[in-house]
Amino acid sequence: MANLLLLIKRNKIWVALGILMTILSNLSQMTFVYLIGKLVNHIESRSSITLSFILLIACLMASNAFTLLLKQYLGRLSTEKMAHSLRMGYAKRLIKKTVKEKTSASLAMSVAQNELAQANNYLSNTLFDIAGMLIMAVLVTVYLLLQNVLLTLVIIVPTLLILVYVSFSSRRLSTIVSLAQNEKNKMNKVAYSLIHAFPSVKIFSGEKLCLNAYNESFDVWEKQWKKMGRLSALYNTLSGVLSRIPLLLLLLIGGFMVIRGDILMGTLIVFVIMQGSLSESIMNLPNWIANFKVFTTNLSRIDIE
C-alpha cells in the first residue's frame, strides 16, 4: 500500500479531479432518477406536470452525458498518470541500482514483465472502475436512507449478509491468484536464466534438461491458472445470484407498501433503479477484491524511486 499511496500523492491533483467528477456524475445521475420517480408519482396521482419540470429533466439528461464524459476522461487520465509514475519510478530506481551495484538482468526482466506489467495494466484499466463503483455505492446508500429508512434496510441487511460470503470467496480466490502469479514468476525466471546461460548450456548439451525444467514449471503454472479460472467463474456466478435477493425483497415489501398506500409507485421505481447500482457492485466483488490484493502485492515487490 505504501507504493500506491506514493503514486496517489505524486498525482494528487489529477486523482482529486477524477474523484470530484465521479461524485458530481453520480449525484447528477441520482438527481435524474429522483425526478423520474417524481414524474411517475405525478402521473399516478393525476397531478399536473409543468413545462419547467420537463425542461429540468431534459437539462439533467444533458448534464448526465457531460459529467459522465468528464468523469471517464479525468478518471482514466489520473490512473494513466499514476501508471506513468510507476513506470518511470521503476526505471529511475533500476538505473541507480545498476550504476551503484551489479543488478541481475534476469531479475530485472522478470519484475518488468510480471509485477510491473500487471500493476501497470491494473492501474490503467481497472482501478478507476472499482473506485467509481465504491463511490457510487456509498452515495446511493446515503441517498436511499434519506428517502425511506425501511426500504433501505430491506436492501442493506441482506447485502451485508452477502458481503460475508464475498469476504470468504475473495480470500480464497486471492490465494489461488497469488499462487498462480508466483508460479508464473518462477516460470519466467527459469526462462530468463536459460536464455542468459544458453551458451554454457549448449556446450554441455543440456538443452533437453533445460526444456524439461521449463515445461515442468509451465505445467505447475497452468494447473494453478485453470483452478483460478474455475473458482472465479463459480464465486462470481454465486455472488451474481445472491445479489438478486435484495431486489426480490424490495419488490415484495415495496410492492406491499404501494398497495397499502404507504409510498407511491415512483418512490419504489427509484429504489429499484438505485438497488441495481448496488447489485452491480456486489456481483463482481470477489474478483475485484482478489485482483486488488494481487495488485497491491505486485506493487509492493516493485522498487520505485
Q: What percentage of the chain reaches a pLDDT higher than 90?
A: 4
Answer for the pair 93, 305: CB distance below 8 angstroms, yes or no. yes
The domain ranges of the chain are: 84-300
In the numeric block, the cell 470477489 is attached to 286
Select the more confidently predicted residue: 162 or 52. Answer: 52
**125-140: b (≥16 Cβ within 10 Å) or e:** ebbbebbbbeebbebb
Confirm whether pTM is higher than 0.85. Answer: no
Q: Is the pLDDT of residue 303 over 60?
A: yes
Q: Is the pLDDT higher at 257 or at 277?
A: 257
Q: Where are the beta strands (DSSP E) in 75-196?
A: none
d(CA 269, CA 45): 15
Higher pLDDT, 105 or 8: 8
CA distances, 282 to each of 148, 160, 186 (Å): 22, 10, 34
Under the banding of pLDDT at 50, 70 and 90, the label for residue 164 is confident
Q: Which of 13-17, 93-97, 142-146 shows the highest mean pLDDT?
A: 13-17
The CATH code belonging to domain 84-300 is 1.20.1560.10
